[in-house]
Structure 1
Amino acid sequence: MRFLRLGPRGAERPTVLDPIDDGRERYLSLDDVTRDIDGPFLASGGIDLVREAVAAGTLPELAPPPGGWRIGAPVARPGKVVCIGLNYRDHAEETGAAIPERPVVFMKDPGTVVGPYDEVLIPRGSRKTDWEVELAVVIGRRARYLASREEALACVAGYAVSNDVSEREFQLEFSGQWDLGKSCETFNPLGPWLVTPDEAGDPQELRLRLSVDGVGRQDGHTKNMIFDVAEIVRYLSQYLVLEPGDVINTGTPAGVALGLPGHPYLRPGRCVELEIDRLGRQRQTFQQA
């Protein structure tokens, strides 16, 4: 299943996509099922309730407004955004970093999460704003001290496309505090969909791509992660409690501006497009804050 949130910022409506036999899709309202697609919805078995309602044909169809829908982030108000750094060997090599023996973990302000087509703001004083296409994992049940990979995957509600936007000077040069370069306003476009594991398939069989102004920059594959999704969730649960609605950004492949010749960092007006197999596409225009 593919969940999304439609409407103006702060007033998004929970929705599910329902495929029709002729290849079209319907937007079905979840207003009668849940207030939002968030931690409480996921924790209470909301996905199964929606699956039953779709099968029963009880969900009303939404008619798109003139000009179409704005698509918000598919998960409202994540409690935390946990990130894994240097999780692709080629990305670690392009940045001159050692291949990590354990996952590199940092946090990102949950307030950075915006819709997949929303404008992204280049911070004031920024000279090195960078892109990172990543597979995002959304937690569906409380995870603490997980003992196995199977338990870890059972805690996953679904997957989404994430752009872990970064300011490299803030991150690496000013203080060595990664969070400072990761938590700037609008720095985590997410979506368009939350795709459940049955539809997303094996999370280690997904191709990731990103372009800037039509020029391909990243083209990677989740099979090349150093630490795969199951191990990331299991590992994190040994050190912090993962709650329903939390988001994990799992790392980016090579091709970021930091590792490219000439370091072509983002400037106002640049357009970034990214996609992951079966999880959808994003497009953002970058503007000065």
Structure 2
Amino acid sequence: MADYVIAPPAIAALPVRGGGLFPVRRIFCVGRNYAEHAREMGSDPDREPPFYFTKPADSIVINGADMPYPTETKDLHHEMELVVAIGVSGSDIQEADALNHVWGYCAGLDMTRRDIQNAAKKTGRPWDMGKAFDHSAPLGELVPAGSIDPGKGLIELKVNGQVRQTSDLSKMIWAVPEVIANLSRLVKLEPGDLIMTGTPENVAAVQRGDLLEGVIEGVGTVTTRIV
């Protein structure tokens, strides 16, 4: 047994529909993967290849738990996303084989300190503190891939019962197999890796007390309250 000089951290894990836990290794996030969201963020969706940022594994919020409003921001935004869980390792994965590396899917929220992110953009600095903060990834239960088609289906988020974001997975600029293939050329994907695949348009601020309820057709839901 390893002789650690401090206690090793707990393993972050997602509950799986039907029972069990899926250990989370890394969280990769695709930026601006819906055309209308890219436009609302001031980018040209016809010119940009995929790009990525990350969140720590222990940023996940599970089982519908509350999300604490983060420090050092006055502009916390929601971003509703399909999340892909990798179950089979691979490098330089071909698009035709990409879905064979997927263990399952869930609904998730890429919560963003938009003011910190925008300040970093203006100075050309990393986005980490705008994206990779504590409790920044509320996720629903993980559903085994089975017959799920990640290329189509409603993706929607309500805040306090009112629809904020609504779109279809078919509107992704880079489809799930393309994202997996592209990312696997940059890093070797391993079991336990999650990929958050981008958000549709109409991201907006939330406040303490707001209830966020997201749904992805055929996949599941994610719920959290900002406290």
Q: Which TM-score band applies after superposition, normalised by the shorter structure? A: 0.7 to 0.9
Q: Which has the higher contact order (CA 8 A, sep 6+)?
A: 2
The alpha-carbon deviation at position 197 of structure 1 amounts to 2.2
Q: Which runs of 5+ in 1 are unaligned?
A: 1-8, 18-28, 31-36, 38-74, 258-264
TM-score of the superposition, structure 2-length normalised? Answer: 0.87
Larger Rg: 1
TM-score, normalization: structure 1? 0.69
SS at structure 2 position matched to 1:122: coil
Instruction: State the match for 2:68 in structure 1.
Output: 121
* CA pair 239-119 structure 1, distance change in 2 beyond 3 A: same
1:234 equivalent among 162, 181, 185: 181
Q: 2:28 aligns with which of 74, 82, 93?
A: 82
Change (3 A) 1:245 1:207: same
User: In the alignment, which of 89, 102, 108 is matched to residue 142 of structure 1?
Assistant: 89
Match of 1:153 among 99, 116, 129: 99
**Deviation >3 Å, runs of 4+:** 9-16
In structure 2, the residue matched to 1:267 is 207
Flag structure 2 segments of 5+ consecutive residues without an equivalent. 1-9
1:62: which partner in 2?
A: none
Counterpart of 2:126, as a letter, is Q
Is the counterpart of residue 284 in structure 1 residue 224 in structure 2?
Answer: yes
Aligned equivalent of 2:172: 225
Q: What is the count of residue pairs matched by the alignment?
A: 214
CA shift digits 1:19-66 (9 cap, x unpaired): xxxxxxxxxx65xxxxxx3xxxxxxxxxxxxxxxxxxxxxxxxxxxxx
Q: CA deviation at 1:199?
A: 3.7
Shift of residue 155, structure 1, vs aligned partner: 0.6
CA RMSD of aligned residues (A): 2.1
Q: Matches of residues 1-289 of structure 1 in structure 2 within 5 Å?
A: 16-17=17-18, 37=21, 75-76=22-23, 78-99=24-45, 100-146=47-93, 148-174=94-120, 176-192=125-141, 194-200=142-148, 202-257=149-204, 265-287=205-227
Is contact 2:106-2:221 (8 Å) kept?
Answer: no
Secondary structure, aligned partner of 1:135: strand
DSSP-derived class of the 2:68 partner: strand
Q: Which amino acid aligns with 1:96?
A: G
- For residues 82 and 128 of structure 1, the distance between their equivalents in structure 2, rounded to whole angstroms, comes to 23
Return the letter of the residue paired with 1:271.
L
The C-alpha deviation readout for 1:121-166, integer Å capped at 9, x for no partner, is 21122111000110000001111112x2122111111111111111
Please say if residues 12 and 58 of structure 2, whose CA atoms lie closer than 8 Å, have aligned partners that are also in contact. Answer: no
TM-aligned CA distance change 1:266 to 1:226, over 3 Å = same
Cα separation, partners in 2 of 1:124 and 1:133, compared to 1, 3 Å: same
Report the AA paired with residue 98 of structure 1.
Answer: D
AA at the equivalent of 1:256:
V
Cα distance in 1 for partners of 2:33, 2:13 equals 33
1:85·1:104 contact (CA, 8 Å) conserved in 2? yes
